[in-house]
Amino acid sequence: MMRNIKLTIEYDGARYLGWQRLGNSDKTIQGKIEHVLKQMTGEEIEIIGSGRTDAGTHAHGQVANFKSNTAMDPKEIIEFVNRYLPRDIVVKMVEDVPERFHARYNAVGKKYSYYVWNESIPTAFERNYSFQFPQQLDIDLMNEACQKLIGKHDFIGFSALKKTKKSTVRTIDELSIEREGQLLHFTFVGDGFLYKMVRIIMGTLLEIGSGKRSITTIDDIFEQKVRSEAGETVPAQGLFLDEVYY
């Protein structure tokens, strides 16, 4: 009987070209997982991710599903894949789900984290998991900027999308900043995020916090809907896909 199997996946993206399989390249997360599932099942497997992550971006809780006739139970599957996957990709959970479950179409929200190393001296351990930004930051002002971003808006000006006919209206439910020593932890929760939206918002927040731009530019970007108004895109290495909501 054809099963529909859901995977919850953790990965350190530092060595990879991102989530999405690229031809026969071995350097994508999707490619690595499909390769092991093909070995396991003897079937042609295609996994559907909740969304792509860019080169260097990490995940604590990426979700994907695939169809298979395998007779292995979830415990056997998790043991097999984690034995054969590279050590920087780990399947944390395997569940049978209803036939119609689709990791991308059924996602109703996502949680991302972005980490900033806010010190002039670099970090050996967080080097692949944060973006070093040594300037002093006005956290109160950045929190004010977060309040302007929370809610339902057209985020086209904060995305790297070309013109699109699809809606670019999204709702951000949470955008918060927490200091953990020299590390600043930004949390984003929303119903969906446009291409590079988290990283462009992050760049804009850092420019506001360091005095390079005024907090009112957020209103301007919402009004003018042009990406060129927003801040730089920060590097992918500080970004984590923490959770996908269904």
Which ranges of 98-243 does DSSP label H, i.e. alpha helix? 139-149, 197-209, 217-224
Q: How many CA atoms lie within 13 A of 84 on its CB side?
A: 14
Closer to a second copy by Cβ: residue 10 or 220: 10
Contact of 153 with 218, CB cutoff 8 Å: no
d(CA 206, CA 212): 8
> Least Å distance between CB 115 and a second copy?
12
Contact of 45 with 65, CB cutoff 8 Å: no
Closer to a second copy by Cβ: residue 19 or 158: 19
Contact of 55 with 41, CB cutoff 8 Å: no
d(CA 52, CA 176): 23
> Least Å distance between CB 49 and a second copy?
16
Question: Given 12, 26, 54, 96, which residue is catalytic?
Answer: 54
Judged by CB under 8 A, does residue 129 bind a second copy? yes
> Least Å distance between CB 191 and a second copy?
27
Which one, of 160, 229, 236, lies nearest residue 194 by Cα?
A: 160
105 is in an annotated binding site: no
d(CA 22, CA 26): 8
Tell me, by CB under 8 A, how many residues bind a second copy.
Answer: 19
d(CA 90, CA 87): 7
Cβ partners under 8 Å of residue 188, min gap 6: 111, 112, 113, 114, 172, 174, 175, 198, 201
The tokens for 111 are: 């949680």
Q: Which of residues 1-30 bind a second copy (CB under 8 A)?
A: 10-12
Question: Mask of contacts with a second copy, 103-122, x by CB under 8 A?
Answer: ------------------xx
> Least Å distance between CB 125 and a second copy?
6
154 among known catalytic residues: no
Judged by CB under 8 A, does residue 124 bind a second copy? yes
Closer to a second copy by Cβ: residue 37 or 78: 78
Contact of 234 with 114, CB cutoff 8 Å: yes
Judged by CB under 8 A, does residue 180 bind a second copy? no
Closer to a second copy by Cβ: residue 108 or 121: 121
> Least Å distance between CB 16 and a second copy?
11
Q: Which of residues 55-94 bind a second copy (CB under 8 A)?
A: 58, 78, 82, 87-92
Closer to a second copy by Cβ: residue 115 or 158: 115
**Can you tell me whether residue 83 is helix, strand or coil?**
helix
Which residues are known binding-site members for substrate?
112
Enzyme catalytic residues: 54
Which residues are known binding-site members?
112
Q: Which residues lie near a second copy (CB under 8 A)?
A: 10-12, 58, 78, 82, 87-92, 121-125, 127, 129
